[in-house]
Structure 1
Amino acid sequence: MRVPVRLVPLTAVTAASALLTGCFASTGADRAADGEGRRIRVAHMLPPRSGLSPLSDDAFKLSRWSTAETLVKLNPEGDARPALATEWKRSGRSWTFTIREGVTFHDGTKLTGDAVVNSLTRAATASPKPRILDGVELTAKADGDTVTVTTAVEDPLVPQRLSSPQLSILAAKAYRGKTVNPVGAGTGPFELTKVNGTSSAALDRYDAYWGDKAKAPGIDVTFVPDGTARAAALRTGEADIVEAIPVSQAAVLDQDLITEVPMPRTNTLYLNTEKGVFKDASLRAAAREAIDAESIVKGVYEGRADVAEGLLGPALPWAAELRSTVKRVKAGDPSGKSITIGTFTDRAELPEVAATLQQQLQKAGFKVKLDVREYTNIESDALAGEFDAFILSRATVLDSGDPAAYLYSDFASDGSFNIAQLADDKVDAALSKASGTAAGDARRKAVIEAEAAVLGTDAAVPMLHERVIQGDAAGVVGAAHDPRERELVTAATYVK
């Protein structure tokens, strides 16, 4: 069913178009010499946060541009499949991977076992570690065309972990100095050739790629944090592929140009359990009871989201099937209690979610102040526990294709993304059990038990599960629509 078109103020369109003027200008190599099409113009939402280091969340940009690759990739079900490794076998704490022959990095050097070990060791010894390695001690050793990865304890998800873009394999040149520079150092069908800070990047087709040759001659990327500007780029033809179109803009676009997919991404209110008002579990319960998630879905997301029953949403259908009633603490009286809620502007809906929550919590008796900034300016304060509550749009299976890693990162006592500052023995035990259980039905059951343990503390109040809205211009062929946000432009993508 088509959404009725709504008029957008001319001033908004003009401002958005002005913002994009020149961003997607022709490079002079816009059209391929062999007539296969032109360079693909991509409008991304978030600019690089760490200079495109693969050891950060910037790794997912490298993956979405098909420039950096991993030993393993995941199929739609989350099962491990060959990539830079062709096969693997397990022996206790060790997994041995056979490295694909005939692969070269973009600087012309060969992919070898030593190169793989170099990348994995750099990730395993980084401070902080990539999120996928939270709680994991990992070492790697090369022997000819094989690499053996050993963990401190048995880990049934080593192949899935190695599929994370944060464990991409790069050429030795990328690791000179303290930072990791991926320019000209990947193995994918597109070579990253230029990065202009947080404004743009360029990639060219890598003709010596080991797999199928890319159909497009290159990719021109512009980072456009403003959601209205991104939508305008699709509407005016300034961009071919537009990432994360805001819900507020989706209805005014040609519905044939947008794709909507349920994501493993949950919009959650994290409550500070260590200090302040929400150190009191009964007041956390009061906050949970005050929240009307359905009104947020209808009012802010215009129905393009799903009300949350737990931390894991419809992108993981088995979660609802296994979930049971969670034991809750009785709500206390929040009257007159002052709290500060933080969130960020990079996702266009979050400030509006914050404003709606402010009204709902104030109606319940809380006094609520909002602190809304760009993500790069607020993340450190959130992780340091400077807010009473924080609204976060969080991917739940982004790293390994398995939600245990997300749950551990966000809610374990030593989790690297523990915004709620949670330290609970029962939660830690449930998370350890889930992390150590073999893949399959038993692991899924343990994951849901861990989710229940977290929800029982009210350290996090899941509100809704988002859907990704991606814009593809009429001439775009083969763009990926990936709920895990790992793929976007592939070797098969081109513009007619």
Structure 2
Amino acid sequence: MRRLLPAAALASASLLLTGCFAAADGGTGSDTGKRIRVAMMNPPRSGLSPLSDDAFKLSRWSTAETLVTLDANGDAVPALATAWRQEGRTWVFTVRDGVTFHDGTPLTARDVERSLTRAATASPKPRILDGVELTVRASGKTVTVTTAAEDPLVPQRLSSPQLSILSAEAYRGKTVDPVGTGTGPFRLTKVNGTSSASLDRYDGYWGRKAKAPGIDVTFVPDGTARAAALRTGEADIVEAVPVSQAALLDQDLITEVPMPRTNTLYLNTERGVFKDPSMRAAARQAIDAASIVKGVYEGRADVAKGLLGPALAWADGLRTARTPAPAGRPGGATITIGTFTDRAELPEVAQTLQQQLQKAGFTVKLEVREYATIESDALAGAFDAFILSRATVLDSGDPAAYLYSDFASRGSFNIAQLADPAVDKALEKAAATGTGEARRKAVIAAEAAVLATDAAVPMLHERVIQGDAAGVVGAAHDPRERLLVTVDTHVE
């Protein structure tokens, strides 16, 4: 097995893919190389709007770009901005010269102002701007970003794919249209609803020319079908190979990397059985995460010690021992646990948790749907508990944003419905602390405050399993799930 860090598909599945990976319409220029066929897990949920989670698809296809990007350590480095400086609550970014959008118009500071202002005033806001008020003003070749409070993470925030810079053409209506309006090495040319997308190499790119002539993407929510696409040669790159399928594939074609993604049971603290802290403690005490890792993930995951996993190497060393809250007696209390089918392992995790919690004295019902149909109910607190596979540094490279989004009383992704003054205070301190060791310690203190409430029970940290066909060269294996096809990726 190819690994970056230590750490037979069913015949019927092949039928699901027949014809799916035929080359899409779109020119390949003068290049005689092969287009890259990609099988992705989740279809677009918001028409590929960069203001939604669909932005990460745009980033993984190298079609939309941001002012800055992140290095391996999570530090900000230049992208569409070449330099920046802080002046209290204000950050000044210098916009790169010589960049054109895919519609041929030149990138200006005014374009940056338009894109960032649209994100800052969106409803709902992109997660990376939870709790952040900012204004953007263009002047010459610079853009000034001013926040209501001094924010040491502004550059990291602006690296989020949800703050991608698009041309004026993208903002003609109420929605944001990324087709032909990005700046990356690949131009998005066609989107077929939730089934497929096509991109061609953009030869006017400001950076190095992409080696591949284009990308053909097919959205394949079924994990067995994605694995079959790799096995049968119908796809060149397959993201999120299910654990159950990984062992059935040629191990030379898969790469496994510990990633900042935590499988967590969120408990509803606002209403129902888990409004009682002792019942939350009882649920936490009943869960045997090691058996889930062994039985469901076949050992291809890491038992959680906290919300932040081994992909953040510094986290475990900063934790201190804590005394867990006393558990109550469930006494047959009925609870409903929700989760979704898009990640193949989660329904099985739900079944295992059902058995564990029933053994502890709960009566457990399960509700399992596709994510697109269950997310709104989860956010509205419709379930007693919800199982979520959650990326912890997806947006800024810094976990403080994830912790705020999921556990602050005003967080936009607060599935636990948590409203705890101590947690809010710890989260605010972490957000205000400068980068470096002091910030890392503040983040761990915020994690401890969340865990003390038992509003969330972290179970395991996932590893990304990606399939690359034998002829694929230079595919990205990114723990943050921001990169997949880059200028260096091609098929021999």
TM-score category (smaller protein): over 0.9
| Paired residues of 1:70 and 1:162 also in contact (CA < 8 A) | yes
1:424-439 matches, within 5 Å, as 424-439=420-435
Do the aligned partners of residues 242 and 359 (structure 1) sit closer, same or farther apart at CA in structure 2, a change above 3 Å counting? Answer: same
Cα offset for 1:30?
A: 8.3
Provide the residue aligned with 2:441 in structure 1.
445
Provide the residue aligned with 2:491 in structure 1.
495
2:175 to 169, 173, 179: 179
Provide the residue aligned with 2:303 in structure 1.
307
SS in 2 for 1:387: coil
SS in 1 for 2:114: helix
Q: Is the deviation greater in 98-107 or in 13-22?
A: 13-22
Q: Supply the distance in 1 between the matched residues of 2:395 and 2:367 (Cα, whole angstroms).
A: 29
1:105 to 101, 107, 122: 101
Provide the residue aligned with 1:381 in structure 2.
377
| Paired residues of 2:68 and 2:159 also in contact (CA < 8 A) | yes
| Paired residues of 2:26 and 2:200 also in contact (CA < 8 A) | no
Q: Does 1:16 align with 2:6?
A: no
Cα offset for 1:159?
A: 0.1
Provide the residue aligned with 1:206 in structure 2.
202
| Paired residues of 1:200 and 1:223 also in contact (CA < 8 A) | yes
| Paired residues of 2:263 and 2:388 also in contact (CA < 8 A) | yes
Q: Supply the distance in 2 between the matched residues of 1:370 and 1:29 (Cα, whole angstroms).
A: 45
1:25 to 22, 25, 31: 22
| Paired residues of 2:260 and 2:310 also in contact (CA < 8 A) | yes
Q: Supply the distance in 1 between the matched residues of 2:466 and 2:15 (Cα, whole angstroms).
A: 22
Q: Does 1:142 align with 2:138?
A: yes
| Paired residues of 1:39 and 1:219 also in contact (CA < 8 A) | yes
| Paired residues of 2:335 and 2:385 also in contact (CA < 8 A) | yes
Cα offset for 1:142?
A: 0.5
| Paired residues of 1:328 and 1:457 also in contact (CA < 8 A) | no
Unpaired runs of at least 5, structure 1: 3-7
| Paired residues of 1:430 and 1:449 also in contact (CA < 8 A) | yes
SS in 2 for 1:139: strand
1:460 to 436, 456, 461: 456
| Paired residues of 1:75 and 1:81 also in contact (CA < 8 A) | yes
Provide the residue aligned with 1:232 in structure 2.
228
User: Aligned letter for 1:16?
Assistant: A
Cα offset for 1:31?
A: 6.8
Q: Supply the distance in 1 between the matched residues of 2:24 and 2:188 (Cα, whole angstroms).
A: 15
1:291-345 Cα distance to aligned partner (Å, 9 max, x none): 0000000000000000000000000011000001233210000121000000000
| Paired residues of 1:344 and 1:350 also in contact (CA < 8 A) | yes
Q: Supply the distance in 1 between the matched residues of 2:390 and 2:430 (Cα, whole angstroms).
A: 20
Q: Supply the distance in 1 between the matched residues of 2:265 and 2:124 (Cα, whole angstroms).
A: 25
Q: Supply the distance in 2 between the matched residues of 1:29 and 1:377 (Cα, whole angstroms).
A: 33
| Paired residues of 2:338 and 2:366 also in contact (CA < 8 A) | yes
| Paired residues of 2:301 and 2:462 also in contact (CA < 8 A) | yes
Q: Supply the distance in 2 between the matched residues of 1:200 and 1:28 (Cα, whole angstroms).
A: 12
1:203-235 Cα distance to aligned partner (Å, 9 max, x none): 000000000001000000000000000000000
Provide the residue aligned with 1:254 in structure 2.
250
Provide the residue aligned with 1:356 in structure 2.
352
| Paired residues of 1:268 and 1:462 also in contact (CA < 8 A) | yes
Provide the residue aligned with 2:5 in structure 1.
none
Number of equivalenced pairs:
488
SS in 2 for 1:51: coil
| Paired residues of 1:32 and 1:39 also in contact (CA < 8 A) | no
Indicate the percent of aligned positions where both proteins have the same amino acid. 81
User: Aligned letter for 1:123?
Assistant: A
User: Aligned letter for 1:34?
Assistant: D
Q: Does 1:341 align with 2:334?
A: no
1:43-442 matches, within 5 Å, as 43-442=39-438
| Paired residues of 1:42 and 1:239 also in contact (CA < 8 A) | yes
Q: Supply the distance in 2 between the matched residues of 1:442 and 1:248 (Cα, whole angstroms).
A: 41
SS in 1 for 2:97: coil
1:66-99 Cα distance to aligned partner (Å, 9 max, x none): 0000000000000000000000000000000000
Q: Supply the distance in 1 between the matched residues of 2:220 and 2:422 (Cα, whole angstroms).
A: 42
User: Aligned letter for 2:413?
Assistant: F
Cα offset for 1:449?
A: 0.2
Q: Supply the distance in 2 between the matched residues of 1:102 and 1:21 (Cα, whole angstroms).
A: 43
Q: Does 1:477 align with 2:473?
A: yes
Q: Supply the distance in 2 between the matched residues of 1:182 and 1:32 (Cα, whole angstroms).
A: 21
User: Aligned letter for 1:73?
Assistant: T
SS in 2 for 1:415: coil
Cα offset for 1:42?
A: 0.2
Unpaired runs of at least 5, structure 2: 3-7
User: Aligned letter for 1:197?
Assistant: G
Cα offset for 1:260?
A: 0.2
| Paired residues of 1:68 and 1:170 also in contact (CA < 8 A) | yes
| Paired residues of 1:132 and 1:399 also in contact (CA < 8 A) | yes
SS in 2 for 1:50: coil
Q: Supply the distance in 2 between the matched residues of 1:62 and 1:239 (Cα, whole angstroms).
A: 19
Cα offset for 1:29?
A: 6.2
User: Aligned letter for 2:156?
Assistant: Q
Q: Supply the distance in 2 between the matched residues of 1:136 and 1:32 (Cα, whole angstroms).
A: 43
| Paired residues of 2:28 and 2:200 also in contact (CA < 8 A) | no
Q: Supply the distance in 1 between the matched residues of 2:105 and 2:323 (Cα, whole angstroms).
A: 57
